[in-house]
Amino acid sequence: MKIVKRILFFGLLFVSISALLIYCSVRRYAGRSYAQAKKDRPYDVVVVPGIPYNTQSTMNVLALRIFWAKHLYDSGYTHNIIFSGSAVYTPYIEGVIMKIMADSLGIPSDHTFSETRAEHSTENAYYGWKLARSLGFQKIALATDPFQSSTLEGFIKKYCPGMTSVPAVLDLLNSSGKSLPRIDPSGAFVKDFISLPQRQGFWERWQGTMGKRVKDEQAKENN
């Protein structure tokens, strides 16, 4: 019994230390990226990945991304914002919901845009980047929470040429004390919605997360 307790103790200790090291690393990464963005600003547009709306477990992250986008706009880091995301896990189109919220917070509606194809974080970056280029924007950055931003670094370097990252700096953004605006979400509602897990199996969703649809599209374009 003592051996089991020791194993559990050291296992929990290892997990806790690992989590702390990752947290500190991500914070340093966000700070360095923001400092570089300060030198490079203003961007033509930042792309903000979506997250499911109207679920208790995601609303804090949704608030963080919305308020970070507003901070970047209000502080002159970007002239425009693209919110990216389809209706994936809930019947609300994420890119549209986030635009409605941003507009309600006072960001001029002619400076916010919705990308509505993306179903995975890699696709948020890629389809957001493609929309930005189609709108004539050249200086493009990804603006999201630092963990997601760090996991997408290698992907955007390969598939989104010229795109950089401006991850949220938590010390500058206290979204926990802010409330998202009350909105009418009906304009983003998808009738007869079928969620991604109902449409795709685990392996297909995993391939999407790793950028399969992006890679397939680029392969077709190059042929």
Measuring CA to CA, which residue among 173, 185, 166, 177 is closest to residue 40? 166
- For the chain, give the mean pLDDT: 88
Q: Examine residue 11 and state whether it is found in any structural domain, yes or no.
A: no
DSSP string, 142-202: E-S-HHHHHHHHHHHHHHSTT-EE----TTT--GGG--PPP--GGGGB-TT---HHHHS-H
Determine the pLDDT at residue 220. 86
Is 18 among the domain residues? no
Nearest CA-CA partner of 182 in 93, 101, 65? 101
Rg of the chain taking only CA atoms, in angstroms: 19
Mean pLDDT value of segment 57-79: 92
Q: Is the predicted pLDDT of residue 5 greater than 80, yes or no?
A: no
Q: d(Cα 101, Cα 77) in Å, to the nearest integer?
A: 19
* Tens-digit pLDDT profile for residues 6-38: 555 545 544 455 444 455 566 787 778 888 888
Is the full-model pTM beyond 0.85? yes
**Any domain includes 27:** no
Predicted pLDDT of residue 159: 95
Q: Considering the domain boundaries, does residue 141 fall inside one?
A: yes
- Burial degree of 90 (CB within 10 A; 0-12, 13-18, 19+): buried
What is the extent of the structural domain holding 147? 41-222
CATH of the domain at 149: 3.40.50.620
Give the C-alpha distances (Å, rounded to integers) separating 89 from 81, 98, 116, 187: 23, 15, 14, 17
**Residue 221 pLDDT exceeds 60:** yes
**Within-domain flag for 19:** no
Residue 199 included in any domain: yes
> Is residue 28 in some structural domain?
no
17 in any annotated domain: no
Q: Please tell me the distance from the alpha carbon of residue 116 to that of residue 98, in angstroms, as a whole number.
A: 11
What is the per-residue pLDDT across 130-163, written as a single tens digit (0 to 9) for each? 999 999 999 999 999 988 999 999 999 999 999 9
Q: Mean of the pLDDT values across residues 172-176? A: 65
User: Of the ranges 41-55, 92-106, 164-178, which one carries the lowest mean pLDDT score?
Assistant: 164-178
- How many domains would you assign to the chain? 1
Strand partners, 45: 140
pLDDT at 113 over 90: yes
Mean per-residue pLDDT, 67-84? 96
- Percentage of the residues of the chain whose pLDDT score is greater than 90: 68
Name the pLDDT band for 83 (thresholds 50, 70, 90). very high
Q: What is the pLDDT of residue 171?
A: 80
Nearest to 69 by CA among 50, 88, 89, 90: 50
pLDDT at residue 169 greater than cutoff 60: yes
With bands split at pLDDT 50, 70 and 90, how would you rate the model's confidence at 170? confident
